[in-house]
Amino acid sequence: MRRGETLMNKQKETNREGWSSNIGFVLAAAGSAIGLGNLWKFPYLVGKNGGGAFVFIYLIVLVVLGFSLTLGEIAIGRKGKLDAFGSYNKIKKGWGFIGLIGIACCFLIYSYYVVIVGWIIKYLVIYLQGGAGKDPAQVFESFISSTTPPIYYTAVALLLTSMIVFKGVSKGIEKASKIMMPGLFIFMIIILFRVLTLPGSFEGVKYFLKPEFELITPKVIIAAVGQVFFSLSLGMGIIITYGSYLSKGENIIKDSLIIPVLDTIVALLSGLIILPAVFAFGLEPSAGPGLIFITLPKVFEAMKFGGVFGVIFFILVFFAALSTTISLMEVLVTFTVDQGSLKRENSVVFLSIIVMVVAAFTSLSFGSLSELKIFVGMNFFDFLGYLTDNILLPLSGLLLCIFVGYIWKKDEIEKEVTSGGDIKFTLFETWFYGVRYLGVLLLSLILLQSLGFEGKVVWYVLAVVLILQIIFEVLEKQGKLDFFKSK
Ligand code: PHE
């Protein structure tokens, strides 16, 4: 039986398709990373938390954690050559559960993200028909609280995602990313020029970038870590899944640098577009749906040729968000294909139906089900956001750091990351010990904070973690922990 299973797995691995080019992989991974986190969260966080000073902190966290964990995830996927669950499990039996948390998280995030992609499509239609009019708040509220229209638009978003994933990794996802990502950049540059030539826009640039170091508190640093994580789609098994379709010779160290850089460029561009536009018309910046569905429509209404820029803007948001839902779906599909031996095509159909049911619930939570409170006064949509952002994401991030730092044998990771020594990685030791110590400590901190712990308790727990780390290091040096490690 075991033998049969292994043989089947081997066969699956060799039959597995893959990216047709490294750039295809990079664009698809960047596509997953670039999304609403960049467009509606980053500019607001920067403006609120110290402008240029926050950007500075963000960049440090990006290099320390963002790059490191992107590399960790790609390495796990490429080594395992299976879905997120299978890849962890293959490297060290019994650790697949980390992948399972990520996969569950993808399912939950997908179930609300796809609803928002539906709204984006609706807005694209609205702008193609001439704009959102004088009272965008009313247009938005009445649309999302209605019963069937948002569900129809959600279905369209889901169908588009499914059609691309249905076609497979290179013919579907890679091809779509190669169109959408360059398109996104070009559209962003066009809008950037328009916005920066508006009178009064400079106030927004100042709000966005003026460094105010006195605003930097530990909370702000924690917010930066959370944002890096969310924005890079880390801890979800997404980068593992995409990495599993990568061939052995590729330079994943370089890829792990390029993906966060692209993501950050889009985040910065977004700040340079959204805040100046909002300031030029004397409006207040905010985060979340209100920003792009209410505040920006007011800007487009007041701007010359605003209707045209509205269309361009919503296409760009659509590209950013669709490339993210594609990655969420692909994690689920790869899981069912690798573990459940489903055919990709069947899996896509099956999953689409399930996700559609949950997504319909999410959509209704803005209207007829808005009174249905699931957890401390949250509706279904808020609950999904809370559960994924505050609990599952930091938890699986922490487990990822523990896996890379403590479970996967150091020589083996080095072999994987450097393609057996072919690729130079001078900072390997720094990277490895960075994840082992800093990664684990930082993510423990985030998890504690997300769970609502504050003050002294946090420091006590972190001290205990540090002591455990040191004990581990000593015992490991004495060779007493080999049973714990991967082969
Ligand atoms: N990275 C995505 C964004 O910036 C959000 C996301 C997080 C998607 C986690 C998948 C998983 O919008």
245 CA to middle of ligand 1, Å?
A: 20
Q: Best-predicted range by mean pLDDT among 130-134, 373-377, 440-444, 454-458?
A: 440-444
Q: Which of 32, 58, 110 to mutate to test the pocket of ligand 1 (most atoms within 8 A of CB)?
A: 32
Alpha carbon distance, N-terminus to C-terminus of the chain:
22
231, burial (CB in 10 Å: exposed 0-12, middle 13-18, buried 19+): buried
Q: How far apart are CA 35 and CA 16, in angstroms?
A: 28
Q: Which of 34, 58, 112, 231 to mutate to test the pocket of ligand 1 (most atoms within 8 A of CB)?
A: 231
Q: How far apart are CA 33 and CA 25, in angstroms?
A: 12
Rg, C-alpha atoms of the chain: 22
The answer to which of 82-96, 162-176, 385-399 has the lowest mean pLDDT is: 385-399
CB 86 within 8 A of CB 331: no
70 CA to middle of ligand 1, Å?
A: 13
Per-residue pLDDT averaged across 219-248, rounded?
A: 91
Q: How far apart are CA 472 and CA 440, in angstroms?
A: 13
Per-residue pLDDT averaged across 78-100, rounded?
A: 96
- Residue 25's nearest CA partner among 177, 217, 191, 159 is 177
> Within 6 Å (CB) of ligand 1, which residues are found?
33, 35-38, 109, 230-231, 233, 236, 238, 324, 328
Q: How far apart are CA 157 and CA 117, in angstroms?
A: 6
Q: What is the pLDDT of residues 26-57, one digit of tens each?
A: 999 999 999 999 998 898 888 888 888 899 99
> Who has greater pLDDT, 25 or 279?
25
What number does the ligand 1 atom closest to the CA of 263 have?
4
Which residue CA neighbors atom 12 of ligand 1 most closely? 35
H or E stretch at 298: helix 296-302
33 CA to middle of ligand 1, Å?
A: 6
What number does the ligand 1 atom closest to the CA of 37 have?
4
CA distances from 310 to 194, 211, 271, 316, 425 (A): 12, 31, 17, 10, 45
Helix orientation angle between 22-33 and 175-196, rounded to the nearest 10 degrees: 50
407 CA to middle of ligand 1, Å?
A: 26
SS percent in the chain: helix, strand, coil, step 5: 80, 0, 20
387 CA to middle of ligand 1, Å?
A: 14
Question: What is the signed CA dihedral for 407, 411, 417, 419, rounded to 10 degrees?
Answer: -140
What number does the ligand 1 atom closest to the CA of 327 have?
10
The tokens describing 292, both together, are: 């792009």
What number does the ligand 1 atom closest to the CA of 35 have?
12
CB 349 within 8 A of CB 335: no
399 CA to middle of ligand 1, Å?
A: 18
Per-residue pLDDT averaged across 209-220, rounded?
A: 85
What number does the ligand 1 atom closest to the CA of 38 have?
4
Measured on CA atoms in the order 15, 19, 20, 22, is the torsion positive or negative? Answer: negative
* pLDDT value, residue 383: 81
Q: How far apart are CA 31 and CA 183, in angstroms?
A: 11
The tokens describing 373, both together, are: 């409170």
> Who has greater pLDDT, 387 or 150?
150
CB 313 within 8 A of CB 300: yes
140 CA to middle of ligand 1, Å?
A: 23
82 CA to middle of ligand 1, Å?
A: 21
CB 187 within 8 A of CB 180: no
Question: pLDDT at residue 130 above 90?
Answer: no
Q: How far apart are CA 467 and CA 483, in angstroms?
A: 21
Per-residue pLDDT averaged across 360-386, rounded?
A: 79
When pLDDT is cut at 50, 70 and 90, the band that residue 377 belongs to is: confident
Q: What is the mean pLDDT of the chain?
A: 90
Name the residue type at position 236: M
Which residue intervals of 210-251 are DSSP H helices? 218-231, 238-243
For residue 479, the SS3 value is: coil
Q: Which of 41, 69, 108, 233 to mutate to test the pocket of ligand 1 (most atoms within 8 A of CB)?
A: 233
Residue with tokens 């979340």: 288
CB 241 within 8 A of CB 13: no
Which residue CA neighbors atom 9 of ligand 1 most closely? 233
229 CA to middle of ligand 1, Å?
A: 9
- Residue 295's nearest CA partner among 320, 311, 275 is 275
Per-residue pLDDT averaged across 116-121, rounded?
A: 96
* pLDDT value, residue 1: 42
What number does the ligand 1 atom closest to the CA of 236 have?
11
307 CA to middle of ligand 1, Å?
A: 28
Question: pLDDT at residue 202 above 70?
Answer: yes
Question: pLDDT at residue 125 above 50?
Answer: yes
Q: How far apart are CA 93 and CA 356, in angstroms?
A: 33
- Residue 330's nearest CA partner among 180, 174, 182 is 174
Q: What distance lies between CA 436 and its chain's CA centroid?
A: 22
Q: Which of 230, 327, 387 to mutate to test the pocket of ligand 1 (most atoms within 8 A of CB)?
A: 230
195 CA to middle of ligand 1, Å?
A: 26
